[in-house]
């Protein structure tokens, strides 16, 4: 018996060793390359971190459409079943008896949405010509005219679109631009700046209020904010900078458009951004970079919301070689723009119907503010239909914004089920200042339980309705569907409790001629972190889990000097990940 136990322990150790080796190889191969450092106009004066391009990004126009439809992708449950799992609704579903009346001035148009023909869309509407469900259109907020087109928020693309009008074919990644992998056993060179780890362990103050600016969305008119400049000045030595307010490094991507490059940019479950328009209305060149910017800001919302519960999530987009969301230029018949069902049918005809895709539609029309597919399935686990495609999140030109796109994507990902504690019973929630909450009917009463306006662009302000990376034991999300587990998010998916770590993103909060203070979030499973300075692995940093973030003051810098820092994650066995994406800054002259 003792010999058998010894052999079982040996087998377990060998499996653990193989798993650890595979994780290390995956990280070195760049499967989580650049999985941090996303800042945007949602965070004032935010600077850009440098990024390593990934080969194999999306193709252009018609070619990309063909590729998107050439493979059905995964067509069922998380373990690879051949058909999608059946929907299981919560017990608070009330079947609809009639379709609401149209209110076209508010974007409330129900053409193309039918009463359900089966239990699959119980309590919801069924998209005409398909088995997909939807809660219906979201009302435009007061003061928003859906018949006006939102102006661009980024400079127009300098190059003409490729064949078919879509994103241009990206160049292959330049290996010389990849971050060197340091010898983690090598100490930092003499005279290198030293982080004050004692302060790090005792500090960890929350990040400054990012002053999130909501764009036209659903219930309230947002407050304005300034767009971050790519040449933002270095903060004054005696002041605390906004997150990431160091001098940005050069990037091929337009300012504020970068997202996380995960893997080869195309394989697996991903969100594909589409610009959808009629035959005589193609504004792709003028709006391509704006749509990349809105997509990047959607990622900021999902990442920052995850940080509120001590985790890290990013939207897993189909990406171009410059680590921006791929945006495809898709023309459909003019008649197809008139309703959600017809638009989806036109996209299916072009091959945009993969099980491993969710489609974020910036539609050049003035019918809706926004609407999306929603399964209303509250069962936990990876077989939830919200965990699969195809599904479509449409935002029309009068409401183009990160807020509206993040809201409709939220429905695609499974928010908000009627069984949730603060559900409106109409696929939303009733908490004031929450991305998925608003007064969706005249009878809906909002609760002021989350008074901080910043939560207007954050998910699940109570962290127990639809999105949390650390569900409360015994809480609702411990036994119901949790959007943070969705496999369309980096850090979600079937391996969410044992995945290659989403490397922490570094945010500069204060900078002087001789010192810098930076923060980064906790990482599940990390025992500590190691700072990488100018490519050299150096000092360990403890994980201060008693504070919202790790806060690290570092002294000994030279005035007027460029620096580059990144973080390695060290697990309980002492094994280090490769360093995350580099954050660069330049100290003032003094």
pLDDT at 540: 83
Residues across the chain = 590
d(CA 550, CA 202): 9
On average, the pLDDT of the chain sits at 73
Task: Name which of 1-5, 134-138, 298-302 the model is least confident about.
Answer: 1-5
Residue 239 has pLDDT above 50, yes or no: no
- The answer to whether residues 266 and 64 touch, using CB atoms and an 8 Å cutoff, is no
pLDDT band at 517 (very low <50, low <70, confident <90, very high): very high
Say if residue 280's pLDDT is above 60: yes
Is 15 exposed, middle or buried, given 0-12, 13-18 or 19+ CB atoms closer than 10 A? exposed
Residue 77 has pLDDT above 50, yes or no: no
Residue 364: closest CA among 391, 394, 341 = 394
Taking only the tens place, the pLDDT of each residue in 483-495 is 999 999 998 887 6
Smallest CA-to-CA distance from 68 within 291, 263, 355, 405 is with: 355
Please name the residue that has the structure tokens 């160091």: 246
| Residue 10 confidence (pLDDT) above 80 | no
Burial of 70 (0-12, 13-18, 19+ CB in 10 A): exposed
- Rounded to whole angstroms, how far apart are CA atoms 182 and 190? 16
Q: What is the pLDDT of residues 152-203, one digit of tens each?
A: 999 986 443 332 333 433 323 332 222 222 222 333 333 455 555 444 433 3
pLDDT band at 8 (very low <50, low <70, confident <90, very high): low
Give the phi and the psi of residue 406 in degrees, each rounded to 5: -65, -35
> DSSP per residue over 131-167, as a string?
S-EE--PBPPPTT--TTSPPPPSSPPPSSPP-GGGSP
Instruction: State yes or no: pLDDT of 70 exceeds 50.
Output: no
d(CA 566, CA 534): 9
Q: What is the pLDDT of residues 521-560, one digit of tens each?
A: 877 667 788 888 887 776 788 877 667 788 899 999 999 9
* pLDDT tens digits for range 302-359: 999 998 988 889 999 999 999 999 999 999 999 999 999 999 999 999 999 999 999 9
pLDDT value of position 581: 76
pLDDT at position 93 is 62
């Amino acid at each position: 018996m003792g010999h058998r136990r010894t052999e079982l322990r040996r087998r377990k150790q060998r499996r653990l060793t193989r798993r650890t080796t595979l994780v290390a190889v995956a990280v070195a191969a760049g499967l989580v390359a650049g999985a941090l450092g996303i800042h945007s106009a949602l965070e004032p004066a935010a600077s850009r971190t440098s990024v390593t391009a990934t080969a194999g990004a999306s193709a252009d126009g018609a070619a990309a459409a063909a590729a998107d439809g050439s493979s059905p992708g995964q067509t069922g449950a998380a373990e690879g079943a051949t058909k999608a799992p059946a929907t299981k609704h919560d017990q608070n579903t009330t079947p609809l008896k009639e379709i609401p009346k149209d209110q076209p001035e508010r974007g409330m148009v129900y053409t193309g949405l039918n009463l359900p023909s089966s239990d699959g869309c119980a309590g919801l509407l069924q998209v005409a010509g398909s088995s997909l469900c939807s809660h219906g259109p979201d009302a435009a907020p007061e003061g928003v005219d859906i018949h006006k087109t939102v102006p661009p928020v980024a400079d127009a693309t300098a190059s003409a679109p490729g064949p078919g009008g879509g994103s241009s074919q990206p160049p292959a990644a330049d290996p010389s631009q990849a971050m060197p992998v340091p010898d983690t056993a090598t100490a930092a060179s003499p005279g290198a700046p030293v982080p004050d780890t004692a302060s790090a362990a005792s500090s960890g103050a929350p990040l400054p209020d990012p002053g999130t600016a909501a764009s036209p969305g659903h219930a309230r008119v947002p407050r304005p904010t300034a767009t971050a400049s790519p040449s933002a000045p270095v903060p004054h030595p005696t002041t605390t900078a906004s997150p990431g307010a160091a001098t940005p490094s050069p990037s091929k991507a337009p300012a504020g458009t970068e997202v996380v490059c995960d893997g080869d940019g195309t394989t697996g479950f991903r969100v594909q951004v589409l610009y959808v328009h009629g035959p005589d209305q193609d504004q792709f060149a003028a709006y391509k970079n704006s749509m990349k910017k809105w997509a990047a800001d959607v990622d900021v919302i999902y990442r920052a919301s995850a940080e509120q519960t001590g985790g890290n999530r990013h939207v897993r987009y189909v990406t171009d070689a410059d680590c921006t969301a791929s945006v495809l230029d898709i023309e459909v018949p003019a008649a197809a723009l008139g309703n959600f069902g017809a638009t989806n049918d036109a996209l299916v005809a072009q091959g945009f119907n993969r099980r491993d895709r969710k489609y974020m539609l910036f539609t050049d029309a003035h019918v809706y503010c926004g609407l999306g597919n929603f399964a209303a399935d509250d069962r936990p686990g990876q077989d939830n239909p919200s965990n699969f495609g195809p599904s479509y999140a449409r935002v029309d030109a009068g409401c183009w914004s990160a807020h509206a796109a993040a809201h409709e994507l939220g429905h695609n990902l499974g928010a908000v089920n009627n069984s949730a504690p603060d559900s409106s019973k109409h696929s939303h929630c009733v908490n004031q200042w929450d991305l998925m909450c608003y007064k969706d009917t005249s009878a809906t009463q909002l609760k002021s339980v989350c008074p901080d306006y910043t939560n207007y662009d954050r998910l699940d302000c109570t962290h127990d309705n639809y999105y949390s990376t650390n569900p409360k034991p015994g809480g609702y999300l411990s036994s119901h569907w949790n959007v943070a587990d969705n496999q369309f998010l980096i850090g979600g998916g079937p391996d969410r409790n044992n995945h290659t770590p989403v490397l922490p993103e570094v945010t500069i909060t204060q900078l002087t001629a001789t010192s810098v203070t930076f923060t980064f979030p906790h990482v599940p499973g990390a025992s500590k972190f190691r700072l990488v300075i100018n490519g050299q692995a150096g000092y360990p940093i403890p994980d201060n889990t008693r504070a919202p973030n790790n806060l690290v003051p570092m002294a000994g810098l030279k005035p007027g000097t460029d620096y580059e820092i990144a973080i390695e994650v060290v697990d309980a066995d002492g094994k280090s990940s490769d360093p995350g994406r580099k954050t660069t800054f330049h100290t003032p002259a003094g």
